[in-house]
Structure 1
Amino acid sequence: MRGRDEETGEYLGESRSQQRRDALEVLALGQQLVALTDAQLAKLPVPEALLPHIRETRRITSHIAHKRQLAFLAKQMRREDDEVLEAIRDALDEKGEAARREVAAMHRVEAWRDRLLAEGDAALGEFIAQYPDADRQSLRQLVRNTLEERKRNKPPRAFRELFRELRELVMAGAAPAATGDDQPVDDASEDAAD
């Protein structure tokens, strides 16, 4: 029982429901850690004492035994300071956000590549306007080579080279992402719908 403060009448400590919610959050964090590779784990601020428990949980494949070992891992994690668990959560969230940003950038690059191949010089003019460091002649040649590859059913060497070139330009010019660079993605999806 958690009892009450005699002077104020307030309950002391957390309720059992809150303790259960906290325990379930730690269990979910443990599941995330078990799903990571050793290389990914090495990048996180996981205490050395937890690593053997994480590896052991990964090793066990029997459903019930795995569940029991995961519960044991969560118990060991609850013994750590709250700051340690928060640091692990923050590191996992940053990776998730960085991955989402990277995927969004790749989608922008793919959308630009598709527009350049479909619209030609009109899309190239817009791209040059947003990314002034781009070499118009080089991009025009890559677009031409890609279209020629498709016509002759050759391997997509120029297609990939065009993607690499666009990716370098888009990643180097991160400022356009804040100025509405997402429009080409919408245009490309509208073109695909038509």
Structure 2
Amino acid sequence: MHELQALGKQLVELPAKQLVDIPLSEKTRDAIVAARSFKHGAIRRQLQYIGSLMPKEDEDAIRIMLYKLQQPHKDEVRAFHQLEQWRDQLLLGDQDLLNELAIKFENFDRQHIRQLIRNAKKEQEQNKPPKSARLLFKYLTEMQGK
């Protein structure tokens, strides 16, 4: 039952636009929508109620739709972390990565990247805001997006 309550809690936390795509009975959907307006103890009781309604629902179909709705976000986060890692490695002077990125991206401007790296290192030494590091991240993001 706790597993079904946890599933119900995930559904309560979904944005309304995404909840529409989940295959639910009207009674369960109404209970989920109502739970969003409750506070503390009432939300706990409502989640228990939703958990009691969940056995009547197609749990597998709900989990599949939740996975499909959450997967694009996970992919974005994974790509974001990859870009952060590239930026950090470039700032540490990883020439192999620089060469790898030059091969991977057609319009990769080595000179511009090296200038951003130099400026970022100077800013770091002088305890200035990391403007160039942000610009480097933005440039890598643009390259990834193309």
Range into which the TM-score falls when normalised by the shorter chain: 0.7 to 0.9
Distance apart, 1:31 and its partner CA: 1.6
Residues 143 and 62 from structure 1, CA distance in 2 versus in 1: closer, same or farther, beyond 3 angstroms? closer
Check the 8 A contact 2:22/2:66 in 1, yes or no. no
Q: 2:102 aligns with which of 128, 131, 156?
A: 128
Q: 2:43 aligns with which of 66, 72, 75?
A: 66
Q: In the alignment, is residue 31 of structure 1 matched against residue 5 of structure 2?
A: no
Give me the CA root mean square deviation: 2.9
> 2:118 and 2:64 mapped to 1: Cα distance?
46
> 1:107 and 1:164 mapped to 2: Cα distance?
13
Task: For 2:10, give the aligned amino acid.
Answer: Q
| Normalised TM-score (structure 2) | 0.74
Check the 8 A contact 1:105/1:171 in 2, yes or no. no
Write out per-residue CA displacement over residues 67-93 of structure 1, whole angstroms, 9 at most, x where no aligned residue. Answer: 43223223444444x3xx544321211
> 2:40 and 2:13 mapped to 1: Cα distance?
16
> 1:39 and 1:155 mapped to 2: Cα distance?
39
Task: For 2:30, give the aligned amino acid.
Answer: P
- Identity of counterpart residues, as a percentage? 37
Distance apart, 1:125 and its partner CA: 1.9
The 3-state SS of whatever aligns with 2:92 is helix
Q: 2:81 aligns with which of 103, 107, 110?
A: 107
Indicate the residue corresponding to 1:93 in structure 2: 67
| Normalised TM-score (structure 1) | 0.59
Distance apart, 1:113 and its partner CA: 0.9
Check the 8 A contact 1:115/1:123 in 2, yes or no. yes
Task: For 2:9, give the aligned amino acid.
Answer: Q
Q: In the alignment, is residue 56 of structure 1 matched against residue 34 of structure 2?
A: yes
Residues 160 and 46 from structure 1, CA distance in 2 versus in 1: closer, same or farther, beyond 3 angstroms? farther
Unaligned runs of 5+ in 2: none
Distance apart, 1:32 and its partner CA: 1.1
Give aligned pairs, total: 145
> 1:128 and 1:108 mapped to 2: Cα distance?
16
> 1:67 and 1:151 mapped to 2: Cα distance?
51
> 2:10 and 2:17 mapped to 1: Cα distance?
14
Which one scores higher on RCO, CA 8 angstroms, separation ≥ 6?
2
> 1:56 and 1:119 mapped to 2: Cα distance?
54
Indicate the residue corresponding to 2:91 in structure 1: 117
The within-5 A match list for 1:1-194 is: 25-42=3-20, 44-45=21-22, 47=24, 49=26, 50-63=28-41, 65-80=42-57, 82=58, 85-119=59-93, 121-172=95-146
Unaligned runs of 5+ in 1: 1-22, 173-194
The 3-state SS of whatever aligns with 1:155 is coil
